[in-house]
C-alpha cells in the first residue's frame, strides 16, 4: 500500500499535470523544476563541491561514508531540455550515502540550444576525465534518471564503440529509451500516471534530435546492440507511461547477455526516487544494496 506521503505527492503532481500543455515554454519548465527541487534540501552532513570539468560545470556530492576512489557518475534527467545539479542534489546525496560513493553530477549541455549529440559528448568527456584523474573503470558506477537514463546507455554505447573500458555498473531510474513513444504503456498508463502525459512527452524529443531519426540507437537505446554492457539495475514505476521503455530495455539487454536486476514499483510514478517519500528511500536503499553487493563492502 502506498504511503501517506506518496499519496500527497501524487495529488500535487496530478494537479500540476492538469495544467500541462505540449507547448509549455522551456524557460518556464526549467524554472519550475528548479523551484520544485528546492523543496527537498540535502542533509547538513553532505559535502557539496562545485567544480568544472574542462568547460562543463559539475558538482561533487559526498556523504560522510563515501569511499574516496569510488565514483558514481550521475546524469540527471529532464527530457534533455532541463535539469541541473540543483534539481538532482537531493537524490545525489541519498545515492552517495547508500552506495558509499562520491557522486559526480555534470551539467551537460541542454537542447534545444545544444541538440544531439551534445549531451553524449559531454557525458563521455566527463567519464574520460574521471579515468584520466586516476579513477579505475572498475570503481565507477554510471547512472541516471529518465533522459539521464537514456543518456547513460548512449554514453556506454559510445564508449563501447571506441573500445574503451566501461564502468563497473549501470543504474537506470525510469530510463527514457524510446523517444518515438511506441510503448504500450504510453496508452495503458496514461490515466494513472500523475506526472507525465503522452502528448507532452511525444512533443519534446525533436527539440533534442531535430531531424535525426528517433529510432537512432543513441537516441532510443532499445534499438541498440546492448551486448557487452555492464550489469545494470533498472527501477520503474508501475503507474508511469514510460513503463514499457524499461520493460523492453530489460528484455533486450537480457537477450544480449547483460545481467539485469529489474524492479517495477507498485503505485509509483516516474522517477519517484527524487521525492522525500518512504518508497523513494526504500528504492535508494536497494540501489545501495545492488552496488555494495558488487563491491563486496
Band (pLDDT 50/70/90 cuts) for residue 296 is: confident
User: What CA–CA distances, in Å, run from 290 to 231, 255, 275, 296?
Assistant: 10, 21, 20, 10
Quick one: average pLDDT of 128-153? 98
For residue 175, count CB atoms less than 10 angstroms from its CB and return exposed for 0-12, middle for 13-18, buried for 19 or more: buried
Predicted pLDDT of residue 21: 55
DSSP 8-state secondary structure symbol assigned to residue 83: -
Confidence of residue 18 (pLDDT cuts 50, 70, 90): confident
Average pLDDT over residues 241-268: 98
Higher pLDDT, residue 95 or 19: 95
pLDDT over 60 (residue 151): yes
Percent of the chain topping pLDDT 90: 92
CB atoms within 10 A of CB 54: 10
Which residues, 6 or more positions from 157, have their beta carbon under 8 angstroms from its beta carbon? 217, 218, 221, 224, 225, 226, 229
Question: pLDDT grade, residue 17 (50/70/90)?
Answer: confident
pLDDT of residue 1: 84
HSE-CB at 217 with a 13 A cutoff on CA atoms is 10
Helix axes 278-295, 85-99, angle to 10 degrees: 50
Find, among 292, 277, 279, the residue nearest to 5 by Cα.
277
Domain count within the chain: 1
Which residue, chain included where needed, has cell 550521475? Answer: 74
Asked if 236 contacts 174 with a C-beta cutoff of 8 angstroms, the reply is yes
Does position 96 have pLDDT exceeding 60, yes or no? yes
Most confident segment among 22-31, 235-244, 288-297: 235-244
Indicate the average pLDDT of the chain.
Answer: 96
What is the rounded distance in angstroms from the CA atom of residue 289 to the CA atom of residue 247?
22
Q: Give dist(CA 262, CA 244) in Å, integer.
A: 13
Range of the domain at 212: 4-16+25-295
Torsion of CA 41, 44, 45, 48, to 10 degrees: 60
Q: pLDDT at position 297, please?
A: 54
- What radius of gyration do the chain's Cα atoms show? 17
Per-residue confidence (pLDDT) for residue 76, from 0 to 100: 98
% of the chain at pLDDT higher than 70: 98
Residue carrying C-alpha cell 563521455:
124
Contacts with 88 (C-beta within 8 Å, 6 or more apart), sequence order: 37, 74, 76, 77, 105, 145, 274
Separation of CA 220 from chain center: 14
pLDDT at 16: 82
CATH number, domain with residue 173: 3.40.50.1820
DSSP string, 165-217: PPPSEEEEES----TT---THHHHTTTT-SS--HHHHHHSHHHHHTTS-TT-T
The residues assigned a catalytic role are: 146, 240, 270
Least confident range from 15-19, 37-41, 163-167: namely: 15-19
User: What is the distance between the alpha carbons of residues 268 and 286, in angstroms, rounded to a whole number?
Assistant: 15
Coil, strand or helix: which one is 63? coil
Q: How confident is the model at residue 24 (pLDDT cuts 50, 70, 90)?
A: low
The band of 204, judged by pLDDT with boundaries at 50, 70 and 90, is very high
Amino acid at each position: 500500500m502506498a504511503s501517506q506521503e506518496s499519496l500527497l505527492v501524487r495529488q500535487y503532481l496530478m494537479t500540476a499535470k492538469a495544467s500541462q500543455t505540449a507547448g509549455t515554454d522551456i524557460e518556464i519548465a526549467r524554472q519550475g523544476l528548479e523551484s520544485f527541487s528546492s523543496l527537498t534540501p540535502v542533509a547538513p552532513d553532505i559535502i557539496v563541491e562545485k567544480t568544472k570539468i574542462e568547460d562543463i560545470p559539475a558538482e561533487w556530492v559526498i556523504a560522510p561514508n563515501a569511499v574516496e576512489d569510488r565514483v558514481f557518475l550521475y546524469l540527471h534527467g529532464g527530457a534533455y531540455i532541463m535539469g541541473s545539479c540543483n534539481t538532482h542534489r537531493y537524490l545525489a546525496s541519498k545515492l552517495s550515502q547508500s552506495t558509499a560513493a562520491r557522486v559526480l553530477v555534470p551539467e551537460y549541455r541542454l537542447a534545444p540550444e545544444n541538440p544531439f549529440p551534445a549531451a553524449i559528448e559531454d557525458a563521455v568527456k566527463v567519464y574520460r576525465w574521471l579515468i584520466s584523474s586516476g579513477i579505475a573503470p572498475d570503481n565507477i558506477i554510471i547512472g541516471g534518471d529518465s533522459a539521464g537514463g537514456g543518456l547513460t546507455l548512449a554514453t556506454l554505447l559510445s564508449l563501447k564503440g571506441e573500445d574503451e573500458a566501461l564502468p563497473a555498473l549501470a543504474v537506470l531510474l525510469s530510463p527514457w529509451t524510446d523517444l518515438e513513444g511506441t510503448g504500450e504503456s504510453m496508452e495503458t498508463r496514461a490515466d494513472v500516471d500523475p506526472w507525465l502525459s503522452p502528448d507532452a512527452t511525444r512533443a519534446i524529443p525533436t527539440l533534442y534530435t531535430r531531424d535525426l531519426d528517433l529510432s537512432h540507437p543513441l537516441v532510443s537505446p532499445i534499438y541498440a546492440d546492448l551486448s557487452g554492457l555492464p550489469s545494470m539495475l533498472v527501477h520503474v514505476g508501475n503507474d508511469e507511461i514510460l513503463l514499457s521503455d524499461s520493460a523492453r530495455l530489460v528484455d533486450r539487454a537480457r537477450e544480449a547477455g547483460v545481467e539485469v536486476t529489474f524492479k517495477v514499483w507498485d503505485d509509483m510514478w516516474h522517477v519517484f526516487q527524487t521525492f522525500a517519500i518512504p518508497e523513494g528511500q526504500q528504492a535508494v536503499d536497494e540501489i545501495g544494496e545492488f552496488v555494495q553487493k558488487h563491491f563486496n563492502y
